[in-house]
A and B are shown apart, each in its own frame.
Chain A
Amino acid sequence: MTLLRTAPPTAIFGLLVLAATLLIGLFAPLVAPYGETEIVGAEYLPWSAEHPLGTDNLGRDMLSRMIFGARNTVGLALLTTGIAFSVGAALGMFAALKGGWVDQLMSRAVDVLMAVPPLILALMLLAIIGPSIPNMVGVIAVIYLAPVFRLSRAAAMNVVALDFIGAARLRGEGTVWLLRREILPNISSTLVAEAGLRFCFVFLFIAALSFLGIGIQPPTADWGSMVKENATLITFGDVTPLIPAGAIALLTVSINFIVDWMLHRASGLKS
């Protein structure tokens, strides 16, 4: 709690938004006035007491879909970034530390993966294995693993070149110890900054996939696909697509406020 008291207002705002999103997502069935796929009335009803955000193109309650969307969207993004970062960062640091052929082999494998454009890779992989939600998490995690690997390797290489790593090696410290105690703390701020963005890129990636025809399976609600479903309305000045887009933006900004605060603390500056 002392931690929170020192937090700047932006970070507190971010934490509040994140907590609210998580809670709403967690208790979606209790909070939402209607079911996720339930057809409750005519399509495109205006905002009213009964349907605070109106209804969508099939007559489903927009607010309920936003609430269930929070659960699906944040859950997916958490899972995907979690996998990509834990695996990607570990491998990247390991490669930087080991160097030599281990580094070469891993870097080249990642190069192959990254050399195929991500959207194309996702389209192909999902067309092969089928666009179910677990498959999508897996595919996006694999795609994001590569840049995380590269970034953590690059950042770790700078650290590895420093004298204290040599000293630790001479002390006879093990690889895992070096990774966790010497390298990770020194590159964590770079990683955290990246994670904040990557987390939000997951929604956008899913939105782009639905734009190209493979996204989250209907009738499941998620914010990225909801932007796509209603996107054409914006060219006529209708604000409907701004609701899910705004939700994504709010969450992105909030998470990055938190990230900035952690970054600031990690850098140890007292400015």
Chain B
Amino acid sequence: MTRLQKLILSRLALGVVTLFAVSALMFVGIELLPGDLAQQILGQSATAETLAAFRAELGLDQPPHLRYLDWLSGVVQGDFGQSLASRRDVAELLSTRLANTMFLAAYAAVIAVPIAVVLGLLAALWRNTLFDRSANIGALSAISMPEFFVAYLLILVFSIKLGWFPTLARIDSVDTLGGALHATFLPALTLILVVIAHMMRMTRAAIINVLAAPYIEMARLKGVPRWRVVLRHALPNALAPIINVIALNLAYLIVGVVVVEVVFSYPGLGQLLVDAVASRDFPVVQAVGLFFAGTYILLNVAADILSILSNPRLRHGR
């Protein structure tokens, strides 16, 4: 196992390097965007004089590399600075948003992942049956509509017609877990519908792919029942791509849900990031961007390690 530990350590170290690269990339991106914070906030009312005064106050008149290094030295000491626009501490700004984002992601994942994997397994087991086809068509139809449109349809049915769930996911107005689950049910359901198809189809494809291997044929000739073949022989060997696609979708649930946040007015990190990019609020963009990047990296390291553990050949090397 020391080999694995070394691997984990080296991957985490690499993750830190990746984070640096991401932060530099985001910084360059914001610098390249047309307009700066002063222009974005003053908008139509800007004049050359007020822009200059605003920039001086924010320190935007400093050369870019100095601003970046200044920010970086703060971060290394654990200080993410203040939002340029609202002068609030970035850490404070992020904390509630972060909790909201993680809550919604967990809500959707806890439901979506098991359903997707089980459906995928069943579809592979009962290949080309009515079940396989209808699961397939249902899942495909769900993902072939834009997220906001799925959300609108769910709102039409569950809020306007039936009146069961609210259209605004106002998590700030509830104080019990049950209340929170109720308030955020529609955004969670939207996300579940969006991610399920991808994971289900990949599970099915990976299993079917393995079913063609000679050792499966062997097992089957030995008279092992079909479900046992799928579960004991095919699944372990198909785990790597399944784990990867789950990791991708988990990452998506955390970092990619800005459209759902907008439709349900849910105060998550995605909207914060879009707002911060729109106003060129660099410390906020960096902090959210780094969190997203960190999440993504950790999920991937986890996925890679699990893939290795699931494949004896990779586990022991050669």
A and B, direct touch (CB closer than 8 Å): yes
Tell me whether chain A's interface is mostly helix, strand or loop, or mixed. Answer: helix
- Report the Cα distance A224→B273, complex, angstroms: 24
- Report the Cα distance A124→B273, complex, angstroms: 11
Is the beta-carbon distance between A269 and B211 smaller than 8 angstroms? yes
> Does residue A112 face the partner (Cβ distance < 8 Å to B)?
yes
> Does residue A22 face the partner (Cβ distance < 8 Å to B)?
no
Q: Which of B218-235 contact A (CB under 8 A)?
A: none
Point out the residues of chain A lying under 8 angstroms from B18, CB to CB.
Answer: 108, 111-112, 115
0 or 1 for each of A205-224: is its CB under 8 Å from B? (1 = yes): 00110011000000000001
Point out the residues of chain B lying under 8 angstroms from A157, CB to CB.
Answer: 240, 307, 314
CB distance from B199 to the nearest CB of A (A): 11
Interface hit among B70-78, B80-88, B252-260: B252-260
Among A8, A116, A267, which residue has its beta carbon within 8 angstroms of that of B22? A116
Q: Which of B279-318 contact A (CB under 8 A)?
A: 289, 292-293, 296-297, 300, 307, 311, 313-314
Is the beta-carbon distance between B141 and A253 smaller than 8 angstroms? yes
> Does residue B42 face the partner (Cβ distance < 8 Å to A)?
no
Is the beta-carbon distance between A114 and B296 smaller than 8 angstroms? yes
> Does residue A193 face the partner (Cβ distance < 8 Å to B)?
yes
- Report the Cα distance A241→B146, complex, angstroms: 11
- Known: A157-B314, A197-B198. Is A252-B29 also a contact (CB below 8 A)? no
Interface hit among A62-70, A146-154, A172-180: A146-154
Interface residues on A, range: 35 or more
- Known: A119-B256, A154-B240, A234-B153. Is A208-B146 also a contact (CB below 8 A)? yes
- Known: A116-B25, A147-B248, A263-B205. Is A269-B212 also a contact (CB below 8 A)? yes
Interface residues of chain B, those whose CB is within 8 Å of chain A, are 14, 17-19, 21-22, 25-26, 29-30, 32-34, 127-128, 133, 136-137, 140-141, 143-149, 152-153, 155-156, 160, 197-198, 201-202, 205-206, 208-209, 211-212, 240-241, 244-245, 248, 255-256, 258-259, 262, 270, 273-274, 277, 289, 292-293, 296-297, 300, 307, 311, 313-314
